[in-house]
Chain A
Amino acid sequence: MIAVRGLVKRHGALEVLKGLSFEVQKGEVAAVIGPSGGGKSTFLRCLNGLEGFEGGEVRVGDNVLTPATHPRRDAALLQRVRRQVGFVFQQFNLFPHLTVLENVTESPVQVLGLARDEAEARGRALLDRVGLGEKLAHLPRQLSGGQQQRVAIARTLAMQPEAILFDEPTSALDPVMTGEVLAVIADLARGGQTMVVVTHAMGFARGVATTVHVFADGHDVEHGPPDRVLGDPQHAVTKGFLRETGKG
């Protein structure tokens, strides 16, 4: 579904990703963990073209992003990629001038060309699924952070992407709200949704992920089934990281 080969990303002189390779199969839930500054978020943003990169390639289905991909000239290609992989942000980024339901229906109507009532039916069902069926007419600022993130997930699901990228979806939330959001993501995993989740929640990675990847210093230093990677880490970085986070 998503295949990354030799990805190099620089911020000026600083090399953030140093030839990183990575793969996600359809139906797989990949959790990406690792110390801060390991390039996890940057990596995720390269996958749907929010950031360009200096080396390697990103393949999403039949579409290939390369260092030559231009944000304006290749807008059509990027749009195809983004239709296939949704993105959920750490800061939710809901549209503050639209109601909860409008946030969810905006793109299906404007981009997919769905009829409004069809989009609204789809939106209602998704908001029900994330437990916000009662808040359709609310504005984002009237919701808690956890509720906002669940709306953001519903908004992404409304586009029916083949995969969803989560960029530390619970880092801005308190433990209770974190629980609400992780429950939604776990629910999606059970439904077979392909996902890449950058996270610090070790319990979640252990319980929900099919594969755990450890990113450090611009490389995917170790990956495998959660039990193996978290229970019997091979790499020094993984061992150190797990010690610091209290073994999840």
Chain B
Amino acid sequence: MPYTSSLMRARVGALALLLAGSLGRADTLSEVRQRGELVWGADQEGGGPYIYPREDDPSQVTGFEVELAARLAEYLKVKPRFFQGPWDKMPELLRTAKVDIVLNGYEWSEARAETMEGTLPYYVYGLQLLARKDDAGLASWKDLESPRAGRLRRVGVLTGTAAESYLREHLAERIEIVTYDGNTDSMREVETGKLDATLQDTPIATFYGPSFPRLRKVEAPVGRGYYVVYARKGDRALVSALNEALILMIRNGELERLYRRYDLWDDAQAELKTLAESARFYGYAQAVGAAVTEGRLPTEEEVRRQVRPRGWTVVRRYGLTLLQSAGVTVILSVLSFPLAITAGLLIAVGRMYGPGWLRPLLAIYVETLRGTPVMLQLYFIFFFLPEVGINVPAFWTAILGLAVNYSAYESEIYRAGLQAIPIGQMEAALSLGMSRALALRRIIVPQAVRIVIPPVVNDFIALFKDTSVCSVVTLVELTKRFSVLSQSTQATIELMLLTAALYMLMSYPLSVVAGRLEARMAREGA
């Protein structure tokens, strides 16, 4: 029933809510305090030093932003709860109230400040140009602008970041910009020679420096910018509380200690202190004037860095985590597919035997779902339906999205199966006094099911692999886990083989089953 009433509301209020552009919600700070939990959004695929899987337990996360979030929550006297989502979808997650704040290397920009509420900066970053050590022809930014062997230099950046904007603004026509989704992808591409250089935020360049020994920094960082925490537009109370916490952490040295541990503290961070000082003029006099005691700096032991694991170490260390994520893949498949085949069968029967008005509607349903990518459909359920008051959790979004998408394909398979049943079968059933429904249930459908088993099993294998798109709605299944681990460890080859092997292990038995069924059908001549 809640869904019915939601739908009713949806019809009435959809347009108004769309125009409003965000969910009318109470003050998030009081909500957070009442709930006792600060839900912060980030993408562990973004990797170190921000947030990445822990080495000793890859199902847990660590990183300077994990620690920062914990400290901020502590200042608000609540517990932190990490919410995994794709990095580029963070503003959507914030807008649809799936998270309270975004804390994930999001740069302050005018455009973002239009749609979200930013805090004071928690880190001052620069953009570091990296090139190969053995590439003597690229020693300065100036070199970048001269084509080599008649083609523009290729520079890699993370999609949608300040680094990309910087290059487009300053070097648009003089270099070729190549965008990537994983932040170390382009570093690897420079090492292998596919790219000439990459422009990275200073934390990434520093953190991953040891993992890419063949790269070197070119000149000093450029384009100074600020990472801020974003809250929903209008959540000023929450932003004020976070600002106060940040000011205190800057003043008592907690932030410096944290950054030194990750080797992130550099001269640029001095600006944080200036900013904290001047905040007294913007309503934060209390936090700026409060008495604080400075803590100690971290020890050598605490700043020890991880090295890139190799070979069987990778299998031992991450095998279990990958296996668990494979479990998620299996659960998604086995829950969504039965729904898909049931719905598909009903749709096919409706299209062939249903009343006249129903048939075009079902045809539209099938064509719409077959004609659009499943990723968009998931996106629609997860990020659009909340606008009209229907909030489906990520897990059920994935199940529902896959089931709905595949129901369209299954219905076409069933339609072919039903069409293959001679008309005489229905006539014989009706002539024996059966109703149409009974004839379908007892005579027509059982015969059609036998015909469609092989293609349906094949589709199950396809769905099984399509579960990887569910990462857009924040689920971490096998493929996403692979991306996360490979970004943070750089052990891409080992992880790729392991992931592929897991997929094969799971889908091969299904192929065997499909093959056997097909052979049996052929033998029976059905």
Inter-chain contact B436/A75, CB cutoff 8 Å: yes
Q: Decide if B431 is an interface residue (CB 8 Å cutoff).
A: yes
**Which of chain B's residues have a CB closer than 8 A to the CB of A155?**
432
Question: Could you say which of A94, A106, A112 contacts B442, with CB atoms under 8 Å apart?
Answer: A106
Question: Looking across the interface, which residue of chain A has its beta carbon closest to that of B428?
Answer: A93
Q: Decide if A159 is an interface residue (CB 8 Å cutoff).
A: yes
Q: Decide if B512 is an interface residue (CB 8 Å cutoff).
A: no
Question: Looking across the interface, which residue of chain A has its beta carbon closest to that of B444?
Answer: A95
Inter-chain contact A89/B450, CB cutoff 8 Å: no
**Count of chain A to chain B residue pairs whose CB atoms are closer than 8 Å in the complex:** 64
Q: How far is the CA of A98 from the CA of B443 in the complex (A)?
A: 9
Inter-chain contact B447/A82, CB cutoff 8 Å: no
Inter-chain contact B433/A82, CB cutoff 8 Å: yes
Q: How far is the CA of A18 from the CA of B436 in the complex (A)?
A: 30
Q: Decide if B438 is an interface residue (CB 8 Å cutoff).
A: yes
Given A96-B526, A110-B442, are A89 and B424 neighbors across the interface (CB < 8 Å)?
A: yes
Question: Looking across the interface, which residue of chain A has its beta carbon closest to that of B450?
Answer: A97
**Which of chain B's residues have a CB closer than 8 A to the CB of A112?**
433
Given A107-B433, A110-B438, A141-B525, are A93 and B427 neighbors across the interface (CB < 8 Å)?
A: yes
Question: Looking across the interface, which residue of chain B has its beta carbon closest to that of A158?
Answer: B432
**Which of chain B's residues have a CB closer than 8 A to the CB of A110?**
434, 438, 442
Q: How far is the CA of A159 from the CA of B430 in the complex (A)?
A: 12
| Residues 382-429 (chain B) with a chain A CB within 8 angstroms | 422, 424-425, 427-429
| Residues 71-93 (chain A) with a chain B CB within 8 angstroms | 72, 75, 78-79, 82-83, 86-87, 89, 91, 93
Q: How far is the CA of A91 from the CA of B447 in the complex (A)?
A: 18
Inter-chain contact B355/A72, CB cutoff 8 Å: yes
Minimum C-beta distance from B93 to chain A (A):
49
Inter-chain contact B447/A96, CB cutoff 8 Å: yes
Given A110-B438, A141-B525, are A159 and B433 neighbors across the interface (CB < 8 Å)?
A: yes
Question: Looking across the interface, which residue of chain A has its beta carbon closest to that of B424?
Answer: A93
Given A75-B436, A83-B433, are A95 and B428 neighbors across the interface (CB < 8 Å)?
A: yes
Inter-chain contact A87/B438, CB cutoff 8 Å: no
Inter-chain contact B434/A95, CB cutoff 8 Å: no
Inter-chain contact B427/A97, CB cutoff 8 Å: no
Given A72-B355, A110-B442, are A48 and B431 neighbors across the interface (CB < 8 Å)?
A: yes
Q: Decide if B360 is an interface residue (CB 8 Å cutoff).
A: no
Question: Looking across the interface, which residue of chain B has its beta carbon closest to that of A88?
Answer: B431
Given A91-B424, A97-B450, are A107 and B434 neighbors across the interface (CB < 8 Å)?
A: yes
**Which of chain A's residues have a CB closer than 8 A to the CB of B429?**
95
Q: Decide if A50 is an interface residue (CB 8 Å cutoff).
A: yes
Question: Looking across the interface, which residue of chain A has its beta carbon closest to that of B422?
Answer: A93
Inter-chain contact A93/B438, CB cutoff 8 Å: no
Inter-chain contact B442/A89, CB cutoff 8 Å: no
Task: Give the residue among A75, A111, A152 with the most B Cβ atoms within 10 A.
Answer: A111
**Which of chain A's residues have a CB closer than 8 A to the CB of B436?**
72, 75
Inter-chain contact A87/B431, CB cutoff 8 Å: yes
Inter-chain contact B525/A86, CB cutoff 8 Å: no
Q: Decide if B137 is an interface residue (CB 8 Å cutoff).
A: no
**Which of chain A's residues have a CB closer than 8 A to the CB of B431?**
48, 50, 82, 86-87, 89, 156
Q: Decide if B342 is an interface residue (CB 8 Å cutoff).
A: no
Inter-chain contact A159/B435, CB cutoff 8 Å: no
Inter-chain contact A93/B425, CB cutoff 8 Å: yes
**Which of chain A's residues have a CB closer than 8 A to the CB of B526?**
96-97
**Which of chain B's residues have a CB closer than 8 A to the CB of A78?**
430
Inter-chain contact B433/A95, CB cutoff 8 Å: no
Inter-chain contact B430/A50, CB cutoff 8 Å: yes
Q: How far is the CA of A107 from the CA of B435 in the complex (A)?
A: 11
Given A95-B425, A141-B525, are A111 and B434 neighbors across the interface (CB < 8 Å)?
A: yes
**Which of chain B's residues have a CB closer than 8 A to the CB of A89?**
424, 427-428, 431
Inter-chain contact A75/B435, CB cutoff 8 Å: yes
| Residues 421-480 (chain B) with a chain A CB within 8 angstroms | 422, 424-425, 427-436, 438, 442-443, 446-447, 450
| Residues 279-295 (chain B) with a chain A CB within 8 angstroms | none
Q: How far is the CA of A97 from the CA of B521 in the complex (A)?
A: 12
Q: How far is the CA of A93 from the CA of B428 in the complex (A)?
A: 6
Question: Looking across the interface, which residue of chain A has its beta carbon closest to that of B449?
Answer: A97
Task: Give the residue among B355, B422, B428, B526 with the most A Cβ atoms within 10 A.
Answer: B428
Minimum C-beta distance from A194 to chain B (A):
16
Minimum C-beta distance from B277 to chain A (A):
81
Q: How far is the CA of A193 from the CA of B312 in the complex (A)?
A: 82
**Which of chain A's residues have a CB closer than 8 A to the CB of B434?**
107, 110-111
**Which of chain A's residues have a CB closer than 8 A to the CB of B450?**
97
Inter-chain contact B428/A79, CB cutoff 8 Å: no
Minimum C-beta distance from A38 to chain B (A):
21
Q: How far is the CA of A86 from the CA of B434 in the complex (A)?
A: 12
Q: How far is the CA of A48 from the CA of B434 in the complex (A)?
A: 13
Minimum C-beta distance from B447 to chain A (A):
5
Minimum C-beta distance from B422 to chain A (A):
8
Which residues of A are interface residues toward B (Cβ below 8 A)?
Answer: 48, 50, 72, 75, 78-79, 82-83, 86-87, 89, 91, 93-97, 106-107, 110-112, 141, 152, 155-156, 159
List 29 A-B pairs, Cβ < 8 Å.
Answer: A48-B431, A50-B430, A72-B436, A75-B436, A79-B433, A82-B431, A82-B432, A82-B433, A86-B431, A86-B432, A87-B431, A89-B427, A89-B431, A93-B422, A93-B428, A95-B425, A95-B428, A95-B429, A95-B447, A96-B526, A97-B447, A106-B443, A107-B433, A110-B442, A111-B438, A112-B433, A141-B525, A156-B432, A159-B432
Apart from A82-B433, A89-B431, A159-B433, 13 more pairs, CB < 8 Å: A50-B430, A82-B431, A86-B432, A89-B427, A89-B428, A95-B428, A95-B443, A97-B447, A97-B450, A111-B432, A112-B433, A155-B432, A156-B432
Which residues of B are interface residues toward A (Cβ below 8 A)?
Answer: 355, 422, 424-425, 427-436, 438, 442-443, 446-447, 450, 525-526
